A = this chain, B = another copy of it.
Amino acid sequence: MAGVSPATVSRVFASGSSVSPAVDGKVRAAANELGYRPSVMARSLARARTDLVALVVGRLNNPFDAQLVEELSENLDARGKRLLVVPADHGENDPAALVALDYQVDGIIVAAGHLSKASAERFLQLGVPVILYGREMHAAGVDCVVADNVSGARQVGALFRRSGVRNAIFLRHKRRTFSDDERGTGFREGMGPDATIRELQSSSAGSRDAAMAALSELPSVTGVFCANDLLAFGVVEAAVQLGLKVPDRLRVAGFDDIDMAASPFYDLTSVRQPPGEIASWVVERLLERLESPGLAVTTQRLPARLVPRRTAPALPGFGGLCVSDPGNGE
């Protein structure tokens, strides 16, 4: 060292320790000169803390998910932690999550479909906090954040019902999903017991074709609620192509309220779940749990708000409940 000290350097870079100004200056000067920066790896090894948080996540083709990744990354960064992305593309369960463990990550954030109970227990046993979003899971101390799917979808159902829709389709993803289940349930609740609701499955990419087929085959259907906006876009397209006027002849609604939903061409009624809030809740909770591991497990429900637009407009009488866009339609 240019200065004269082995472990004192540590104190200089670790905040909080007391070092005399003189020494501090010398060390920093030398470090600057040498271009020295403490190795996070070595520090992690010694402290048994990596400041790394793993995110186990699947595909990002839905802008909503992408947004979430961005927000998570930024939130963590602001708290001095770094995001380690572990792709869970294998579609199925845990193996990906286990990789995270090898990195001694301080915590793990898992997207809806990618956590098995087995993994969850393994994490708990190792004392690594897990936050799950987009799905509830009553298992070993994992905290969950979920948008209030049931309530959001119920609002859509109620709007459809009040608009006179009696015969509807619930379009969901091919792969069975916790949130799709909830959205279906909420929708049925909102539509009431005397409504007929068909469930249809499709990939986001193929939703137009699926909707085309279903709508031409079932002329009595007057409303389609989709598990997300991407699916709904396809339905709107199909309706246009079939000459079914939206919203007069057919109401359409989606879920997530991604940016494109506000496009004047779709102008899609949707249910807003704010990625920013989810992200900040997730990291907030993670950090809380890191500093006091004993916390009770919680499941946080984030409110989901109906955003009525043209494809399923709010009814005059009920406008008070619905918050529409500020819409400075010049």
Residues on A lying within 8 angstroms of B by beta carbon are: 35, 37-42, 44-45, 50, 52, 59-61, 63, 65-67, 69-70, 73-74, 77, 82-87, 89, 98-99, 101-104, 122, 125, 212, 233, 237, 240-241, 259-260, 263-266, 330
Contacts and interface: CB of A to CB of B under 8 A. Distances in A.
B87 A73 contact: yes
B50 A61 contact: no
Contact of A69 (B39, B69, B98): B69
B82 A85 contact: yes
Contacts of A66: 60-61, 63, 65-66, 69
Contact of A42 (B45, B74, B84): B45
A99 B37 CA distance: 10
A122 B70 CA distance: 27
A61 B65 CA distance: 10
A144 B269 CA distance: 43
A205 to B, nearest CB: 8
A230 to B, nearest CB: 9
24 contacts: A35-B122, A35-B125, A38-B102, A39-B45, A41-B50, A42-B45, A45-B45, A59-B70, A60-B66, A60-B67, A60-B70, A61-B67, A70-B87, A73-B85, A73-B87, A74-B87, A74-B89, A77-B86, A82-B99, A83-B84, A84-B84, A85-B85, A237-B263, A237-B265
Contacts of A82: 84-86, 99, 103
A44 B259 CA distance: 42
Contacts of A212: 330
Contact of A104 (B41, B87, B122, B330): B41
